[in-house]
Structures are given as structure tokens and as C-alpha cells.
Amino acid sequence: MDRLLERERKLRQLNEQLDARKSRAESHAAQVLQEQEAYFQRMAGPALEPLPQPEAPMAAPEAAPEQPVLTVPATPPRGRTPLRTAARPTTGAVFATATPGSPASSTLASMRHSLAMSPPQSSGSPHPRTSSGSSPGSAAAAMAQVSVLTRELQAMQQRLESVMAESADKDRMLAESEAELKTALDENRRAARAEQALKTAATKAQKVAEEARRKAHAHALKASSLQSELDKTVADSRARASKATSADVRLNRALEEAEKVKAELAEAQAAARDDAAKFRRELADRDASIKRLSKQRTELLAAFKKQPPRHCRLPRTSLRACSR
């Protein structure tokens, strides 16, 4: 029982730790999404200098492989809160900012600073979203930054999935421990009831055995007195036989009396055994009668309570009993 309680306590502590880790991951994901939104708003603003239009047609860059979108199970485990996600204006991939202090974070900050410090394009330009000051290297840097952010988001998604899988395992183990604890408690209650029933039966058997022991002691005293009388009779017979010439006749008579006393002793012992068996049967019959009378009393009380009240016409001495 103590082992199950200790296991359940440890599982609850692990569950709380997983909840804390999940909440930190959710807050970090929300911060990442906010930074993405701000980043795309800055890229779509008027201060953004678009890439220059090449004079000769350039080969289209290879399409980036489609990246998996961060997903969360529709029904989170018990005691968990679902992760809030929202659609973002991405181009075939999910972008995320780098963690604070990483090289990708410093690169992103420098790119934002360069975008903010770039002058806007004049209205006389033939291409409104191009600028002569831009270089093809900025596009490569942006694509490299997008690739870095995509890899970081994939790593974040893998960590979140690992945390949620571990949380599901801990929930399953906690449910199994609770089921084992409930089973152990049920078995303990059943054992307590069985022990109480055995104690009651042992008390009743002890009372019956005490009564039988008392009767056996009384019969033993009676048998001892009969045996002493038998010994005295035999001794007297032998003494008289030694003094008289008819010793053989008197001895035979004494022996017959001894046999008779022995038969009486055997009958007394058999009667004692019969009395003990009869007492046990009477005790069982009395128990059955008590149970039957208790049941009849309960039925009569129930039937009496169901009868409608009637006016009592008994003498005044019985008015109080009738009012009940």
C-alpha cells in the first residue's frame, strides 16, 4: 500500500513538471508567433526595399521542401490545456524566430536593422517594389534566414511532441497506479469484513465450547464418583470373599455388580454425549427461532405502520399504549 502511494506521489510530481515544461513551451511558441507576425509586417511595410528586377531572366530558385506545420492533438491528455495556434501568412513553410542568444537571433536583428534603415523607393521608379540599391545577396540572405528559422521551428515541434508523448505516458502510468490503489483498497475492505465475520463466528464457537466443557466436567465428576463406588464395592467383595467360605459366589456377585456399574458408567457417558449433542441442536434451533421471530417482528411492525390510524376504544388505562 505504501509503495503504491509513493509511486502515485512521484507520478503526480512528474505530471506537474511536465505541465510546467509544456506551459513554458507554449509561452515560447506564442512569443515566436508574435515575432513572426511583427517580422512579416515590417517586410510588408513601405520601408521595405524589394529585390531588384534582373535585366536578364534568371532561373527560378528551387522550391523549398514543404515543411510540416506545428500541430497539436485535438483532445489533449487529462489535466492539460491545448496549445493555441493560429494561421500565419507563410509561403509553403512555417517560420519561427531563433531562440534568444543564438546566432540566428543576431542575424535576424541585423536584417531588421538594415530593412529599417533603408530609404523608401520614389514614386517615379518604373518598378514600385524594386530599388537600384538592393543586391541579389539580400535575397540569398533572406532565404538562408528562412531556412534557419524553419529548422529551429522543426526542432521546437519535435521537442513539443516529445514532451506531449512523455506527458501521455505519465498520465497512463498514473491511471494504472490509481487503478491498482483502488483494487488494493477494495481487497483490504473485503479482508476486514471477512476478518470481522471470522471473529464473530469464533466468539460464538467459543461460547458453545465453554458450555460443552462445563457439561463434560460435570459428567466427568459423576463418572469419577461411580468409579470410586465401583472400587469400593470390589474391595468390599474381595474382603468378604476372603473371610467367608462362599467367597466364589460372593465374588461372582460382586463382579456382576461391577459389570453392572460399568454398564451404568457407559450409559452415563453415552447420555453425556447425547446431552451435549442435544444441547448443540437446541442452541441451533433457538438461534433459528430467534431469527424467525425477529423477522416476524419486523414484518408485523412494518404492517402495523402501514395500517391507517383508527380511534382507540380501549379503557383509559390503555390509551397511552393505543396512542403509540
pLDDT digits (tens, 9 = 90+) for 44-96: 554 444 444 444 434 333 433 443 333 434 444 444 444 343 333 333 333 33
269 neighbors 218 (Cβ within 8 angstroms): no
CB atoms within 10 A of CB 157: 19
pTM listed for this prediction: 0.28
Query: Rounded CA gap, 12 and 170, in Å?
Result: 9
Domain boundaries, the chain: 2-47+68-117+137-190, 197-302
pLDDT digits (tens, 9 = 90+) for 247-299: 677 778 888 888 988 898 888 888 888 888 888 898 999 999 999 999 999 99
Nearest CA among 93, 106, 77 for reference residue 154: 93
- Rounded to a whole number of angstroms, the CA Rg of the chain reads 52
Q: DSSP letter string over 113-167? A: HHHHHSPPPPTT-SSTT--TT--HHHHHHHHHHHHHHHHHHHHHHHHHHHHHHHH
Query: Rounded CA gap, 245 and 249, in Å?
Result: 9
